[in-house]
Amino acid sequence: MQQNLDFEIVVVGGGIVGLASAYKIASSHPGIRIAVLEKEERLAAHQTGHNSGVIHSGLYYRPGSGKAETCAKGRKELIAFAEEHGIAFDICGKVIVATAESELGRLAELFERGRANEVEGIEKIGLERIREIEPACSGIAGLWVPCTGIIDFVEVAKKLAELIEAKGDGNKVLTGHEAMGFEKHDFHTKVLTSHGGFVTKYIINCAGLQCDRVARLDGVEPGVRIIPFRGDYYELTEEARDKVKGLIYPVPDPAFPFLGVHFTRMIDGAVECGPNAVFSFKREGYGKCDFSLRDSWDSLAYWGTWKLFMKNWRYGLGEYRRAFSKRLFLRQLQRLIPSVEAGEIRPSKAGVRAQALGPRGELIDDFKIERRGSSIHVLNAPSPAATASLAIGDHINEIATQYFGLGETAKREQPQRTERKGKGKDRGKGRKSKDASKPEG
Ligand SMILES: Cc1cc2nc3c(=O)[nH]c(=O)nc-3n(C[C@H](O)[C@H](O)[C@H](O)COP(=O)(O)OP(=O)(O)OC[C@H]3O[C@@H](n4cnc5c(N)ncnc54)[C@H](O)[C@@H]3O)c2cc1C
């Protein structure tokens, strides 16, 4: 039975990816009504509000990958967006510094990768030039990446929310609304939230640290598990801030999708040092000892997690020791700036990365965005997804336009029929939609 819709599309998650996607759809389809549901009382409360604030260049990613393609495009769009809407940003550039001979090969590979990805202005530099850019920094060789910058992604998220609502009377960005279940009907879905239900045709899951769970609520088996990796930061005291002019990064370990502990000048002038990457016992836990039985069980009952631990126990142990020892954390920072002293750093914020892990213990490196029937699920959107958010939004808009029949020329397609109604965690579990084997994106 046809039912009056509250919204054509409901986006779950008011982080930067959900907001950028809703913004892109609302911009190219002004007639449709779209809602963004955010479970917290404020937007960008998790990854988007707990990151390094770096506008990445697109240097690191495998040419042709989703990350490489969306990062450079997203960066340029983000800068144009910030300029248009008066959001502060600074293209301060960054240096990547090799501190040991053993890193030189990887530094050379990074340079080639940067060239393959057409990163503008990238340069190989020696110690003299490193010192010109960052006088306190030490190393044996480096790369200068002038198009990297800094921004406050929370400001971007807030502006996107404002614009989504401004684009149509029927558009809503609703905080304090947790999507808790999906009642599937023939031609619509009722999204059950902590504040009542909304009837919609299409769902876009951008729930970050909860995206695998939201997918299961929608009857979709995501094929990956979100494993939370906390990153702790220290910050430089006001007196020591002068030691960092812009961004100073180490050469990353290619075995991991993390960039290594770095120095980041933030848009408010503070200098952050971090983040490390430790397995977290709570998905949205920002304290070193935070624990959630449900989250720990979900991670530890997954065979992929144990495979990851077995392959990388030495690295993991090192990260754990550094998380609890200021002395060890400092030692890592001193590889980049030898003059930093214990009294010049103090504990600061933490962030938790949503990292998708496959069943064989493989860390999913690229973005993972899949359409299943009348839903789109963003199942892996780690760094640089904040930088790339507007380009990811374009990509999601393209999928929605094509498969949800939003555009005039789009292929018309009714959402697939489902037989079951219900609510809650187990509803739809293990049930695949008719075209679940045809992921898009
Ligand atoms: C420590 C750290 C440093 C990083 N540094 C950078 C960087 O410098 N540059 C960069 O580009 N990227 C960086 N990233 C990555 C970047 O922050 C993320 O890729 C990006 O923020 C992901 O956005 P998102 O919208 O997918 O997720 P989130 O920002 O986590 O948003 C998801 C939202 O969904 C909501 N939600 C979850 N479940 C539900 C539900 N059932 N109902 C309603 N709402 C729900 C959550 O409350 C949350 O607000 C960093 C990440 C971390 C953790």
Is any ligand 1 atom within 6 A of the Cβ of residue 247? Answer: no
Is any ligand 1 atom within 6 A of the Cβ of residue 179? Answer: yes
Euclidean distance between CA atoms 370 and 396, whole angstroms: 9
Amino acid, res. 4: N
- For residue 417, pLDDT over 70 is answered with no
Euclidean distance between CA atoms 357 and 32, whole angstroms: 35
Contact 150, 269 (CB under 8 A): no
What pLDDT was estimated at residue 192? 98
- For residue 420, pLDDT over 60 is answered with no
CA distances from 428 to 181, 182, 221, 299 (A): 10, 9, 10, 21
What pLDDT was estimated at residue 2? 64
Element (H, E) at 186: none
**Quick one: pLDDT band at residue 418, thresholds 50, 70, 90?**
very low
Interval between CA 52 and ligand 1 midpoint (Å) = 12
Is any ligand 1 atom within 6 A of the Cβ of residue 280? Answer: no
The predicted-structure confidence for 114-151, as pLDDT tens digits, reads as follows: 999 999 999 999 999 999 999 999 999 999 999 999 99
Interval between CA 27 and ligand 1 midpoint (Å) = 22
Is any ligand 1 atom within 6 A of the Cβ of residue 207? Answer: yes
Per-residue pLDDT, averaged over 101-114, amounts to 97
Euclidean distance between CA atoms 260 and 250, whole angstroms: 6
Per-residue pLDDT, averaged over 404-429, amounts to 44
Contact 209, 420 (CB under 8 A): no
Contact partners, residue 171, CB within 8 Å, separation at least 6: 22, 26, 33, 34, 35, 164, 165
Is any ligand 1 atom within 6 A of the Cβ of residue 40? Answer: yes
- For residue 412, pLDDT over 70 is answered with no
What pLDDT was estimated at residue 413? 38
Is any ligand 1 atom within 6 A of the Cβ of residue 215? Answer: no
Is any ligand 1 atom within 6 A of the Cβ of residue 14? Answer: yes
**Quick one: pLDDT band at residue 258, thresholds 50, 70, 90?**
confident
Over the chain, what is the mean pLDDT? 91
- For residue 70, pLDDT over 90 is answered with yes
**Quick one: pLDDT band at residue 409, thresholds 50, 70, 90?**
very low
Interval between CA 417 and ligand 1 midpoint (Å) = 32
Residue (of 212, 177, 218, 168) closest to 196 by Cα position:
177
The predicted-structure confidence for 15-33, as pLDDT tens digits, reads as follows: 999 999 999 999 999 999 9
Residue (of 345, 353, 363, 343) closest to 276 by Cα position:
353
User: Ligand 1 pocket test: which of 51, 173, 218, 396 has the largest number of ligand atoms within 8 Å of its C-beta?
Assistant: 51
- For residue 397, pLDDT over 50 is answered with yes
Q: Which residue has the tokens 């892109």?
A: 24
Contact partners, residue 169, CB within 8 Å, separation at least 6: none
Is any ligand 1 atom within 6 A of the Cβ of residue 374? Answer: no
The predicted-structure confidence for 136-193, as pLDDT tens digits, reads as follows: 999 999 999 999 999 999 999 999 999 999 999 999 999 999 999 999 999 999 999 9
What pLDDT was estimated at residue 184? 95
Pairing mode, if any, of strands 141-145 and 34-37? Answer: unpaired
**Quick one: pLDDT band at residue 256, thresholds 50, 70, 90?**
confident
Euclidean distance between CA atoms 179 and 164, whole angstroms: 19
Residue (of 65, 73, 79) closest to 113 by Cα position:
65
Euclidean distance between CA atoms 338 and 409, whole angstroms: 60
User: Ligand 1 pocket test: which of 40, 383, 425 has the largest number of ligand atoms within 8 Å of its C-beta?
Assistant: 383
3-state secondary structure of 91: coil
- For residue 231, pLDDT over 80 is answered with yes
Contact 390, 78 (CB under 8 A): yes
Is any ligand 1 atom within 6 A of the Cβ of residue 53? Answer: yes
Which ranges in 325-376 belong to alpha helices (H)? 326-334
Q: Report helix angle 153-166 to 385-403, nearest 10.
A: 30
Cα R_g (the chain), whole angstroms: 22
Q: Give backbone dihedrals phi and psi of 202, rounded to 5 degrees, phi first.
A: -130, 150
Is any ligand 1 atom within 6 A of the Cβ of residue 149? Answer: no
Contact partners, residue 50, CB within 8 Å, separation at least 6: 286, 349, 350, 351, 352
Is any ligand 1 atom within 6 A of the Cβ of residue 50? Answer: yes
Per-residue pLDDT, averaged over 359-386, amounts to 97
Contact 213, 178 (CB under 8 A): no
Atom index in ligand 1 nearest the CA of residue 43 equals: 49
Which residue, judged by its Cα, is nearest atom 3 of ligand 1? 51
Interval between CA 223 and ligand 1 midpoint (Å) = 20
For Cα atoms 337, 339, 340, give the angle at the middle one, nearest 5 degrees.
Answer: 75
Q: Could you tell me how far CA 192 lies from the centroid of its own chain?
A: 25
What pLDDT was estimated at residue 1? 58
Interval between CA 314 and ligand 1 midpoint (Å) = 28
Q: What percent of the chain has pLDDT over 70?
A: 92
Low-confidence winner among 3-7, 11-15, 112-116, 327-331 (lowest mean pLDDT): 3-7
Interval between CA 8 and ligand 1 midpoint (Å) = 24
Is any ligand 1 atom within 6 A of the Cβ of residue 209? Answer: yes
The predicted-structure confidence for 198-210, as pLDDT tens digits, reads as follows: 999 999 999 999 9
Q: Give backbone dihedrals phi and psi of 141, rounded to 5 degrees, phi first.
A: -165, 165
- For residue 441, pLDDT over 50 is answered with no
Backbone dihedral region of 390: left (phi > 0), alpha (psi from -120 to 50 degrees) or beta?
Answer: alpha
Q: What percent of the chain has pLDDT over 90?
A: 86
Q: Give backbone dihedrals phi and psi of 198, rounded to 5 degrees, phi first.
A: -130, 130
Euclidean distance between CA atoms 96 and 137, whole angstroms: 11
Per-residue pLDDT, averaged over 32-37, amounts to 97
Interval between CA 99 and ligand 1 midpoint (Å) = 31
Q: In the numeric block, which tokens belong to residue 216?
A: 């299961």
**Quick one: pLDDT band at residue 407, thresholds 50, 70, 90?**
low
- For residue 440, pLDDT over 60 is answered with no
Interval between CA 16 and ligand 1 midpoint (Å) = 7
Q: Which residue has the tokens 């031609």?
A: 187
- For residue 300, pLDDT over 50 is answered with yes
**Quick one: pLDDT band at residue 257, thresholds 50, 70, 90?**
confident
Euclidean distance between CA atoms 68 and 391, whole angstroms: 11
Element (H, E) at 419: none
- For residue 252, pLDDT over 50 is answered with yes
The predicted-structure confidence for 75-85, as pLDDT tens digits, reads as follows: 999 999 999 99
What pLDDT was estimated at residue 205? 98
Which residue, judged by its Cα, is nearest atom 37 of ligand 1? 207
